[in-house]
Amino acid sequence: MTGPFLPGTLRGSVERLEWEKLVRGSRYRVSKDFLDADGGIHREGEEWRFIGSYFVPYDSELSILVQLQDGMEWRIPLRWENGAQLAMCENIFEYLSPA
């Protein structure tokens, strides 16, 4: 997980691509622990508001942009490939639920 960024910093990043599975502005809770591409662990019960996302095909990396309860923004990188976070990318609602 990369950050923190000041509120409003990451919102400009979401114009490139919007990931259809999560709704911008909605709150989500981690329902199953997962490891992001930076090695950060996201534990069951973690909550955040979804800002947006973008995908970089060259790196097969999906970035989920979130805002925590303190208002600070973070980027959660996920590798969309075997041996990484493929299951998370393709089955997001096995790991997240609406808060």
pLDDT at residue 6, rounded to an integer: 85
> pLDDT by residue (tens digit) across 20-77?
688 888 999 999 999 999 999 999 999 999 988 888 888 889 999 999 999 999 999 9
Please give the CATH topology (third level) of the domain spanning 2-98.
SH3 type barrels. (2.30.30)
What is the C-alpha separation between 2 and 40, in angstroms, rounded? 9
pTM above 0.75, yes or no: yes
